[in-house]
Structure 1
Amino acid sequence: MMNKIFQDLLDVYVIIYLDNILVFSLNEKDHEAHVQEVLRRLQDNDLFCNIEKCHFHTKKIDYLGFIILEFGIEVDQSKVTDAMNWSTPKNVKNIQEFLGFVNFYRQFIPNFGNMARPLYNLLKKDSVWRWDLAEQQSFDGLKKCLTSAPLLLQPDTTKQFYVECDASDYATGAILSQRNSEGKLAPVAYLSKSLSPAEKNYNIFDKELLAVIRAFKEWRHLLEGSELPVQVLTDHKNLEYFSTSQSLNKHYNFQIIYRPGAQNKKADILSQRYDLVPLEGGVENQVLLKPELFIASITPDQEINDLIGKAIYKDDQLKEILHKLQNKEKILDWELKEGLLWYQGKIFVPKDNTIRNLILESRHDALAAGHPGQARTLELISRSYYWPLLKKFVNSYVSHCKTCIRSKPTNQVPVGLLKPLQIPERPWEDIAYNMIVGLPVSEGFDAILTVIDQFSKMVHFIPTQSTALAIDIANLFITYIWKLHGLPRSTVSDRGPTFNAKFMRHLYH
């Protein structure tokens, strides 16, 4: 009922949870008008407020267990007192009660997922009850974190977001931040997740990339559609090459920036928790390739490096740099050592396609390499070598690799001829529909069915669930579309799994 009364004001300047109404405004003048409008609607519907529970014209309010401030959100200190007085759990039920309480405030605890792991382990099926040092440290640590919980900034979608990411052998961590009134980065939310057994086998590039993907999925509602590029800060330099990946780029406006580990300590802490490290003997060595497979007709790195050491003196573009370094002059990012020229800690390869092709052969054509794709080949080379337009060179080499061309299977059905859609003659004669999924759950819904009239561009946004069956979607069409606009002449969809043959049968029969 409340949502219906204030439906046009929700998230504009009114937030409602059951019978709790929060009115927010940018200035006092607007606030007076907003409050009067809310009170008027309550009066028109014969609804009354308890004056003892009302707070007017305040910049600090206790709302649903949180302290809402002008610039952020805090933990209610009365709840913190309850946590500090919590007695040591004696059984599984006590653990469930405590975790249920602190989980409500997990967004304020940087390492919640990792710190609470020993307690969650006690909730596993067939787990034997055992309260040792690890469990006590987890229990005490969570209580202590609540007492020192930081002020979380209110996310401002008009300002730039910063995502600090890092990964270890056992977990990924991320911090969503924005600049406060003093121009300093301040946290908006924290994220820390452990790696599954399969994810622990990822190489470091993929683990670092997983940390970025997890962060964007967790905060999708804030980052997707951001006007200003999201600054992704990572201590893994090779992730800078990820900016052309199709998995995130089509949805997000972001830029990956390398920041050395010494400057990335906050995200490091989230990913390198001691309690995520497996016990001794918990990891077994796996022999993936037999030794004889490594005997291949490729040029060893030492021979390649010897060729590079001679070729750098033949490159005219490097003469000035070499001259300064030989005279003990310092040049930012450049070094001359071991007879090689180094750029940002990597061996610089001069303009010699013969040498560059030898490097590609060792990282792509080798039996042990197994002809990896463009991104993987680039990552392997970037560990040791650098030259201008490296990515372009690698992509060209891999795309023209005859072995890859012969072996790569097609994963697409033959594409049909493109035909323009017929121009409708009247409204709701031709419609298009699609599903928006992966949204935060709101009132039990986590997806939206969109139906668009091709003539007027009028759109219906129908709340639904991502798990809805074909018959459920068909019923939504009948209730919200056909009842209002009649049967369309034609329909267009992206042929998603929801709109299958069963959906069409339920819709037309």
Structure 2
Amino acid sequence: MQRFVNEKCQDFLKEGWLVNLLDDFAIKTCGTLQDHIRNIERFLQRMGEIEVFLKDSKCQWFAKEIPFLGFMVNRYGYWKQPEKLEAIREYGTPKSQKDVRIFTGMVNFYRPFADHLSVICKPLYDLLKKNQKFMWSGEQQVAFEKVKATILDEVFLVFPDQQKVFTIDFDASEYGTGACLQQHDSEGNLRPIEFFSYKWNKAEYNYSTPDKELYGLVLALRHWYKWLFGAEQDIVVYTDHKSLRDFSKTQLLKPRHARWSLVLEDYRVRLTIRWISGKQNVIADALSRDPRFVLTARELEERRSTQILPETVFQEEENVLLRTDQMVDISMDDDDGVVNTINDNGTPTATEEEEEETENDQELITKISLRKCQPHQRDITDNPNLQKEVLYLCHDHGMAGHNGLRKTLDLIARKYWWEHVSTNVKKYIEECDLCQRSKPSHQAPLGKLVPLPIPQRNWQHISMDFIVKLSQSVIQGVQLPHDSILVVVDRRSKMAHFIPTQETVTAEGTAKLVFNYVICKHGVPETVVSDRGPQFRSRFWEKILEVIGSKPSLSTAYHPQTDGQTERTNQCHETYLRLYSIYDNWASILP
């Protein structure tokens, strides 16, 4: 049925005024009453042509509020249909896995309205695991009642408006993250569009606080991608973590941060991060710090660092460290002797002189850094010799096995910490001769450098980029002040156009500037090199280039060398502006 309707009413569905699921139809018109009547006539005529008959008793005409697909819908938003909740309200205590599966299936339908539904349902989901025996306890009963209460709460969600500014309130805590997508109504009040919350898994639980805050923002942007990516206005993010505002300025990124930065890159021009105090960030703070996110004792135990070596490798304070020269003295020819020594004592014991020296070392490592050290770790920042011995034990020792960076760091973190430990371990492993000679390389073969095509004529291949964050400058006869420059460079003649514009310019506005200042004067280019800004990644921009016969060439994120020519031109032009322009007259002196 659905496929049949999609084929026969494809034009209506594309125009947007017809909504359909199987045999349910809704006609919504944003225009006048005459427009609505015209759409109804077109729909009824089409139903007659395909011989689909409507039952009059089930139809509602010219309604301002209708039940549709289990919801009550009006022009402003939607909420849960009260009659549909009776089945959930009256649902009895499940007696089998099948009953649990039916119940969770019903409540999942209302997931957008429910805060932390997946967390509340966890005891119920545990009963649905493979080979899990059905045992209904007090924990499941409490979760069952909480789910019903959460679903039965009245929440009104408004429809997103692409013409308005989106606001995201988000916050991350030790156990999870929460966010609320909102927009202002006609009276200036913030109204929720949807709630979002997420509980950290085992790996994410160990992230640092800045990483949790950043990942929480990335998860929210991914979750609401369908609405935010096509937004025409700014996206304002409110957070109580100040470091997020400076993340875009970071030059050297870890692989994890680089992946997250690709998500933020989609919203680079329109995304604005603003700091507010924790007291003001009420909704998101409550979502992320919900008591249901707090880990149980069992979960905390599971999330501790996995022990790679047995405890015998790390003796108590009197023999925690082995001297390097003692380990060298062990005859490697006598393998049985080495094995017996380890089996009998756990690790070879130190001499009395070395034990005395070790005790002196312990005076240093008993200093605990309250700022960075964990309670179970000892700070040995001030003892580089001790650091070398710990590195030797955790990497070179026979029971350590010359492991890689992650496992070596995990092993060290069980007992010790010092400043720049990750950098030291990475350098130590990279300089380990035995690792370099014995371990296979898992790095993929390096690809060949692919240069940009060499232009054969002027304006055959162009590159473009924006200079942003300039002071506002007004040109006589133009209403809006300019705060950015669109730079377009011919890659053969090096001739450039500097076009004043706004930082919030859309893909359509960028296309108009390129047509008026470049294409009308120099013709259509074959390729256009640019960064991955939202103007150059939009479907509108891609369609424009396809129509005129140009091919887009996007640079790698955070790799400006791809478009090095335009970047170099930008540097020269910025220097020129600093030398010759007054604060607000730069737009009038552009070449």
Sort the TM-score into its range (normalised by shorter chain). 0.5 to 0.7
Question: What's the counterpart of residue 264 of structure 2?
Answer: 249
Contact 1:293–1:367, Cα closer than 8 Å, also in 2:
no
Secondary structure, in 3 states, of the residue corresponding to 2:130? coil
Secondary structure, in 3 states, of the residue corresponding to 1:143? helix
Percent of aligned pairs with the same amino acid: 29
Secondary structure, in 3 states, of the residue corresponding to 1:370? helix
The answer to whether structure 1 residue 4 and structure 2 residue 7 are counterparts is: yes
Deviations 1:165-216 (A, max 9, x none): 1122222211111112332111111112211100000011111111111111
Contact 1:452–1:458, Cα closer than 8 Å, also in 2:
no
After superposition, the Cα gap between the structure-2 partners of 1:454 and 1:138, relative to the gap in structure 1 and judged at 3 Å, is: same
Distance in 1, matches of 2:299 and 2:117, equals 24
Question: What's the counterpart of residue 294 of structure 1?
Answer: 381
Contact 1:209–1:239, Cα closer than 8 Å, also in 2:
yes
CA apart distance, 1:291:
3.9
Distance in 2, matches of 1:195 and 1:105, equals 22
Question: What's the counterpart of residue 45 of structure 1?
Answer: 50
The answer to whether structure 1 residue 55 and structure 2 residue 60 are counterparts is: yes
Question: What's the counterpart of residue 26 of structure 2?
Answer: 22
After superposition, the Cα gap between the structure-2 partners of 1:113 and 1:456, relative to the gap in structure 1 and judged at 3 Å, is: same
Contact 2:162–2:230, Cα closer than 8 Å, also in 1:
no
421, 427, 443: which one pairs with 1:368? 421
Higher mean displacement: 94-103 or 147-156: 147-156
Question: What's the counterpart of residue 145 of structure 1?
Answer: 150
410, 417, 433: which one pairs with 2:451? 417
Deviations 1:265-311 (A, max 9, x none): 212222223233222254355599974642268xxxxxxxxxxxxxx
The answer to whether structure 1 residue 265 and structure 2 residue 299 are counterparts is: no
Gap regions ≥5 residues in structure 2: 251-260, 308-373, 385-417, 426-442, 461-525, 529-538, 557-591
After superposition, the Cα gap between the structure-2 partners of 1:32 and 1:192, relative to the gap in structure 1 and judged at 3 Å, is: same
Question: What's the counterpart of residue 188 of structure 2?
Answer: 183
The answer to whether structure 1 residue 111 and structure 2 residue 116 are counterparts is: yes
What letter is aligned with 2:139? A
CA apart distance, 1:105:
0.5
Distance in 1, matches of 2:71 and 2:445, equals 50
Question: What's the counterpart of residue 88 of structure 2?
Answer: 83
Secondary structure, in 3 states, of the residue corresponding to 1:262? coil
Distance in 1, matches of 2:136 and 2:285, equals 29
Distance in 1, matches of 2:136 and 2:279, equals 36
Contact 1:179–1:186, Cα closer than 8 Å, also in 2:
yes
Question: What's the counterpart of residue 377 of structure 1?
Answer: none
Higher mean displacement: 100-109 or 84-93: 84-93
Secondary structure, in 3 states, of the residue corresponding to 1:8? helix
Distance in 1, matches of 2:65 and 2:424, equals 60
Normalized against structure 2, the TM-score is what?
0.52
After superposition, the Cα gap between the structure-2 partners of 1:208 and 1:412, relative to the gap in structure 1 and judged at 3 Å, is: farther
CA apart distance, 1:139:
1.3
More helix by share: 2
After superposition, the Cα gap between the structure-2 partners of 1:420 and 1:131, relative to the gap in structure 1 and judged at 3 Å, is: farther
Higher mean displacement: 163-172 or 95-104: 163-172
After superposition, the Cα gap between the structure-2 partners of 1:259 and 1:369, relative to the gap in structure 1 and judged at 3 Å, is: farther
After superposition, the Cα gap between the structure-2 partners of 1:281 and 1:8, relative to the gap in structure 1 and judged at 3 Å, is: closer
CA apart distance, 1:107:
0.4
Distance in 2, matches of 1:194 and 1:131, equals 24
276, 287, 297: which one pairs with 2:293? 276
Distance in 2, matches of 1:368 and 1:207, equals 21
Secondary structure, in 3 states, of the residue corresponding to 2:148? helix
Higher mean displacement: 133-142 or 286-295: 286-295
CA apart distance, 1:129:
3.1
Distance in 2, matches of 1:140 and 1:223, equals 35
Secondary structure, in 3 states, of the residue corresponding to 2:112? helix
Which structure: larger Rg? Answer: 2
The answer to whether structure 1 residue 163 and structure 2 residue 180 are counterparts is: no
Question: What's the counterpart of residue 463 of structure 1?
Answer: none
Normalized against structure 1, the TM-score is what?
0.60
Question: What's the counterpart of residue 510 of structure 2?
Answer: none
Aligned length: 341
After superposition, the Cα gap between the structure-2 partners of 1:23 and 1:411, relative to the gap in structure 1 and judged at 3 Å, is: farther
CA apart distance, 1:55:
0.9
Distance in 1, matches of 2:453 and 2:197, equals 48
Distance in 1, matches of 2:167 and 2:196, equals 13
What letter is aligned with 1:63? F
What letter is aligned with 1:47? V
Matches within 5 A, 1:226-245: 226-244=231-249
Contact 1:109–1:149, Cα closer than 8 Å, also in 2:
no
After superposition, the Cα gap between the structure-2 partners of 1:116 and 1:182, relative to the gap in structure 1 and judged at 3 Å, is: farther
Distance in 2, matches of 1:240 and 1:410, equals 35
CA apart distance, 1:411:
10
After superposition, the Cα gap between the structure-2 partners of 1:292 and 1:56, relative to the gap in structure 1 and judged at 3 Å, is: closer
209, 213, 219: which one pairs with 1:214? 219
Distance in 1, matches of 2:231 and 2:131, equals 46
After superposition, the Cα gap between the structure-2 partners of 1:494 and 1:256, relative to the gap in structure 1 and judged at 3 Å, is: closer
Distance in 1, matches of 2:69 and 2:239, equals 35
The answer to whether structure 1 residue 71 and structure 2 residue 76 are counterparts is: yes
Deviations 1:224-271 (A, max 9, x none): 132211111212222122345742332123111112221222122222
Question: What's the counterpart of residue 381 of structure 1?
Answer: none
125, 132, 141: which one pairs with 2:137? 132
After superposition, the Cα gap between the structure-2 partners of 1:292 and 1:49, relative to the gap in structure 1 and judged at 3 Å, is: closer
After superposition, the Cα gap between the structure-2 partners of 1:416 and 1:98, relative to the gap in structure 1 and judged at 3 Å, is: same
Question: What's the counterpart of residue 207 of structure 2?
Answer: 202
Higher mean displacement: 286-295 or 145-154: 286-295
Distance in 2, matches of 1:240 and 1:258, equals 8
Distance in 2, matches of 1:38 and 1:458, equals 39
After superposition, the Cα gap between the structure-2 partners of 1:84 and 1:420, relative to the gap in structure 1 and judged at 3 Å, is: farther
Distance in 2, matches of 1:458 and 1:20, equals 43
What letter is aligned with 1:272? R
Deviations 1:30-78 (A, max 9, x none): 2111111111222233332111111110111111111111201110101
Secondary structure, in 3 states, of the residue corresponding to 1:190? strand
Gap regions ≥5 residues in structure 1: 298-364, 373-408, 424-429, 433-447, 460-490, 497-509
What letter is aligned with 1:247? L
Contact 1:296–1:367, Cα closer than 8 Å, also in 2:
no
Distance in 1, matches of 2:546 and 2:95, equals 66
After superposition, the Cα gap between the structure-2 partners of 1:129 and 1:21, relative to the gap in structure 1 and judged at 3 Å, is: same
Distance in 2, matches of 1:421 and 1:100, equals 60
